[in-house]
Amino acid sequence: MIHVPKNWYNILADIPFELPPDIPQPVRADRPEAVKPQLPLALVRQSMTRDPLVPIPESVFEKYLSWRPTPLRRARALERHLGTRARIYYKYEGGNASGSHKLCTAMAQAQCYAAAGARRLVTGTGAGQWGTALAVACREFGLACKVYMVAKSFHEKPYRKTIMRLYGAEVVPSPDPRAGRAAGRGEVHAGNIAFAVTEAFEDALTHEGTQLSVGSGEAYAILHSTVVGLEAAEQLGPADQPDIVIGSLGAGSNFGGIALPFAGRKLRGESDVRCVAVEAESCPKLTRGRYCYDYTDGSGVSPLQKMYTLGSRFTTAGGHIGGLRYHACSKIISALHHHGVVEAAAYPQPDIFASGALFARTEGILPAPESAHAVHGAIEAAKRADEAGTAPAILFCLSGHGLFDLASYEEYLNGTMADVPVSEEDIRRSLAELPQLDGQAVR
Amino acid sequence: MIHVPKNWYNILADIPFELPPDIPQPVRADRPEAVKPQLPLALVRQSMTRDPLVPIPESVFEKYLSWRPTPLRRARALERHLGTRARIYYKYEGGNASGSHKLCTAMAQAQCYAAAGARRLVTGTGAGQWGTALAVACREFGLACKVYMVAKSFHEKPYRKTIMRLYGAEVVPSPDPRAGRAAGRGEVHAGNIAFAVTEAFEDALTHEGTQLSVGSGEAYAILHSTVVGLEAAEQLGPADQPDIVIGSLGAGSNFGGIALPFAGRKLRGESDVRCVAVEAESCPKLTRGRYCYDYTDGSGVSPLQKMYTLGSRFTTAGGHIGGLRYHACSKIISALHHHGVVEAAAYPQPDIFASGALFARTEGILPAPESAHAVHGAIEAAKRADEAGTAPAILFCLSGHGLFDLASYEEYLNGTMADVPVSEEDIRRSLAELPQLDGQAVR
């Protein structure tokens, strides 16, 4: 009998170094309201505590029971196809109403905001996994919900909009084609997640009882996602704990959710597990970004956080990377990477989709493009192990299903899926717009 | 610990009446090959035996274990929303690689055909659930697969084509826009399932090593689907066996799969369970069709079977009923209905989708439009029970998920979903084309 955890795991209890502090933005005379406190005290506490275990509120735990524990499976058919000696396990998070792991933090956040008196939550979403999860959670906790969806995804994945509407959310494309002004920047640029969050932030600032909820990156979003890794550890049992743990990296909740409970063991000297964050080659913040202070959204009013970043105005050249299209990596995972506790890898888009299709054919679940990054990472890890003559246990998070992403798989089947490389010049140009203090980038 | 059944349940062992025999078609001089035996002996035996339990071949059972037993859940959130005293249980069959219950018979058929020497299977599919299931099963048993998909669905649900292609199948629209001649009829008409099967049949007749596989209606397809009801009976346990069992009716495998193990108990005098087949108001064969001999496909070469039918050239006026768009009800379930063992109900399309959306909002699974018929039937049964002051246990089959069907739910959300009534004149005109012997319809 596998139990749903009663607590989240907080890696802040185990890290032996200090996290660089956030830098609040000066209050701007033209937008004094833009720095008013937004976060419920419960979420602030969850972000700041050094307790290793943070109790899951009873009402959130009850919601978790409606879809947790999620399955932990061994990918035997995939193993046979690869002819690998590695044991490949996956934790499947796509079986819930929202179709991804995002529901773990969506439920927790909706509960906190509702308890703090909010009547309506707004958010930005990329491919739509987060927006769908928040729509479900808002319905469960009696909140209204509005989702600003990156325009490219809004138009390419119309059914994402439908499912969010079915769950009761209002959904609009970002940037709003009718809007002339965006919060704090005075200019509308092509859609990306940072900008969608900015538009949602603007909405929250100008509507009573409305709060901005964000799906990844923030410490509490990663904390809430650790139920994934905690469950997996119990499901695997003491006999076959993983040698390698792999998660896709957008901003951090996916990778952090599966990996941090294991990274904590490593920090405590209980194992020498390798934790590998797999990012898109077209959005390579950990592998090619800079570790420095940056905005977490595109507004220029959020506090600065020290992160691996490509710059908050970075826009990918295209491709189908969905929720991985975020310019930075959360400060906690960035710090863990900076200190060598977790690793990172980036792979080209056609290879990612080939692995996603192979997984569907062997294991019978079509991975979301985001999740296919972890699938590919696991396959690569198995191949490297076979070359080295080792036989590790590999665990990865299959964070969501790809049934909303079939247009991209159709492109793969037709052989028209392009590689989407990022030039050094692209990165240099984007990093040139990092926030400055006294005329200098903030280190 | 719930077990996957080792046997299928065969209702022929329990029916106290004779089934009207099939009537073979005369061999036509212009198409002598059209009546050559097509069916593997194993499937013939499974269709003819009077044994109550038919052993599931070991290699099929092993495949079943990859996704069975499927969940049996109580719809508590739906019950709360309705304020009903009824206990509503659902058996969820949408969690496998194909997304529906169709995989039960697809695996069994692929095994039989492969064992009989076939190298390639062809079929017709409506909304695509059956085609997807056969694509998965063919891959598992090393067979090539080609799917003729009703043109309307092919164009309205492009992602169904993608998922079938991902599993390795070739998919074409039916009618073939390039073809001038259709088997045995000399005329190409608007797409429907019967015609898609006809095109597949033509393919099988003209290609070496190729056989036609059909997904519903035939006795063996229903037999294979009874694992659904057998598992549900074990999962519910002796304390809470259902008073009412509900399934959607296309041709019969969905309804028969969930209901026949319970109908058998009724025939044996062990219970007085009500079994209710829910059909689309726009394709009302059980509620408004005629019980007489008809073709099972659109070719005019298949043996005639005595069924409730609207005529094999019946075409629905539109709407989103997917796999329920079949002109007749399988001969076994037709006979059970004729003898009063099972009931039937038909509901209008907007009500079906309202219940589907309600189910998604309460239980977190979006039903396929086909499955939404059973959801609506269960909700109606609960309401009638509340009115009557009873508190029955209601079991229905949630046969597949609706993530490929969001365009139709979008129509529902926009309030543009039309009722699709069928006039008496439509039915009369279609029944006028029933097959004739000596100038008379065959009774």
| pLDDT recorded at residue B35 | 52
Q: How many Cα atoms sit within 13 Å of A184 on the Cβ side?
A: 27
DSSP 3-state of A373: helix
**Higher local confidence (pLDDT), B286 or B437:** B286
**pLDDT tens across A395-443, in order?**
999 999 999 999 999 999 999 998 888 999 999 999 998 887 766 667 6
For A366, the closest of B139, B163, B406 (CB atoms) is B163
Spatial contact of A261 and A230, defined as CB atoms under 8 Å apart: yes
**Range in A423-432, B76-85, B296-305 with the lowest mean pLDDT:** B296-305
Least Cα separation, residue B221 to chain A (angstroms): 22
**Which residue of B66, B132, B161, B162 to mutate against A (max A Cβ within 10 Å)?**
B162
For A97, the closest of B99, B357, B364 (CB atoms) is B364
Spatial contact of B193 and B199, defined as CB atoms under 8 Å apart: no
Q: Is the pLDDT assigned to residue B331 strictly greater than 60?
A: yes
Q: Least CA distance to A165: which residue of chain B?
A: B413
Instruction: Residue A435: name the closest of A309, A283, A325, A317 by CA.
Output: A309
**pLDDT tens across B88-112, in order?**
999 999 999 999 999 999 999 999 9
Q: How much is the average pLDDT of B291-314?
A: 85
Domain assignment of residue B194, yes or no = no
Q: Compute CA distances B416 → A376, B267, B322, whole Å.
A: 42, 44, 18
Q: Is the pLDDT assigned to residue B180 strictly greater than 90?
A: no
Chain A residues whose beta carbon lies within 8 Å of the beta carbon of residue B398: none
Q: What is the CATH number of the domain that holds B86?
A: 3.40.50.1100
How many structural domains comprise chain B?
1
Measured distance CA(A83)–CA(A382) in Å, rounded = 10
Contact A410 B360 (CB under 8 A): no
| pLDDT recorded at residue B185 | 42
* Joined tokens for residue B410: 């979008």
Q: What percent of chain B has pLDDT over 90?
A: 76
| B66 has a chain A CB within 8 A of its CB | yes
DSSP type of residue B322? G
Spatial contact of A108 and A220, defined as CB atoms under 8 Å apart: yes
Contact A97 B163 (CB under 8 A): no
Domain assignment of residue A391, yes or no = yes
Contact B162 A410 (CB under 8 A): yes
DSSP type of residue A116? T
For A409, the closest of B139, B162, B366 (CB atoms) is B162
| A404 has a chain B CB within 8 A of its CB | yes
Q: Least CA distance to B413: which residue of chain A?
A: A166
User: Left if phi > 0, otherwise alpha if psi is -120 to 50, otherwise beta: which for A116?
Assistant: alpha
Chain A residues whose beta carbon lies within 8 Å of the beta carbon of residue B162: 406-407, 409-410, 413
Q: Is the pLDDT assigned to residue B433 strictly greater than 90?
A: no
**pLDDT tens across A200-254, in order?**
989 999 999 999 998 888 999 999 999 999 999 999 999 899 999 999 999 999 9
Instruction: Residue B169: name the closest of B133, B194, B196 by CA.
Output: B133
Q: How much is the average pLDDT of A66-70?
A: 96
DSSP type of residue B400? B
B73 bridge partner residues: B90
Spatial contact of B294 and B434, defined as CB atoms under 8 Å apart: yes
First-residue to last-residue Cα distance in chain B? 49
Q: How much is the average pLDDT of B165-171?
A: 97
Q: How much is the average pLDDT of A254-273?
A: 97
Domain assignment of residue B43, yes or no = no
For B406, the closest of A96, A159, A167 (CB atoms) is A159
Q: Is the pLDDT assigned to residue A187 strictly greater than 70?
A: no
Chain B residues whose beta carbon lies within 8 Å of the beta carbon of residue A96: 364
Domain assignment of residue B235, yes or no = yes
| A364 has a chain B CB within 8 A of its CB | yes
Provide the pLDDT confidence category of residue B186 given band limits of 50, 70 and 90: very low
Does the predicted interface ipTM exceed a cut of 0.85? yes
Provide the pLDDT confidence category of residue B299 given band limits of 50, 70 and 90: low
Q: What percent of chain A has pLDDT over 90?
A: 76
The vertex-B70 CA angle with B60 and B125, nearest 5°, equals 65
Q: Is the pLDDT assigned to residue B179 strictly greater than 70?
A: no
Contact A407 B159 (CB under 8 A): yes
Q: What's CA B22's distance to the chain center, in Å? A: 20
Provide the pLDDT confidence category of residue A94 given band limits of 50, 70 and 90: very high
Q: Least CA distance to A358: which residue of chain B?
A: B166
Average pLDDT of chain B is 91
| A403 has a chain B CB within 8 A of its CB | yes
Average pLDDT of chain A is 91
| B407 has a chain A CB within 8 A of its CB | yes
| A80 has a chain B CB within 8 A of its CB | no
Spatial contact of A361 and B167, defined as CB atoms under 8 Å apart: yes
Contact A403 B407 (CB under 8 A): no
Measured distance CA(B381)–CA(A32) in Å, rounded = 58
Measured distance CA(A11)–CA(A262) in Å, rounded = 10
Spatial contact of A306 and A291, defined as CB atoms under 8 Å apart: yes
Instruction: Residue A307: name the closest of A295, A315, A298, A297 by CA.
Output: A295
Least Cα separation, residue B135 to chain A (angstroms): 10
Q: Compute CA distances A74 → A87, A189, B140, B163, whole Å.
A: 7, 44, 18, 23
**Which residue of A403, A413, A417 to mutate against B (max B Cβ within 10 Å)?**
A403
Q: How much is the average pLDDT of A72-77?
A: 97
Q: What percent of chain A has pLDDT over 70?
A: 91
Domain assignment of residue B120, yes or no = no
Chain A residues whose beta carbon lies within 8 Å of the beta carbon of residue B67: 364
CB pairs under 8 A between A and B: 74
Spatial contact of A312 and A185, defined as CB atoms under 8 Å apart: no
For A167, the closest of B139, B361, B404 (CB atoms) is B361
| B80 has a chain A CB within 8 A of its CB | no
Provide the pLDDT confidence category of residue B298 given band limits of 50, 70 and 90: low
Strands A144-150 and A170-174: what pairing? Answer: parallel
Q: Is the pLDDT assigned to residue A183 strictly greater than 60?
A: no
The vertex-B291 CA angle with B289 and B293, nearest 5°, equals 115
Spatial contact of A257 and A225, defined as CB atoms under 8 Å apart: yes
Q: For chain B, how many residues are written?
A: 443
Domain of B424? Answer: 62-96+226-431
Domain assignment of residue B387, yes or no = yes
Q: Is the pLDDT assigned to residue A26 strictly greater than 80?
A: no
For residue B95, which amino acid is it? G
Domain assignment of residue B269, yes or no = yes
**pLDDT tens across B200-253, in order?**
989 998 999 999 998 888 999 999 999 999 999 999 999 899 999 999 999 999
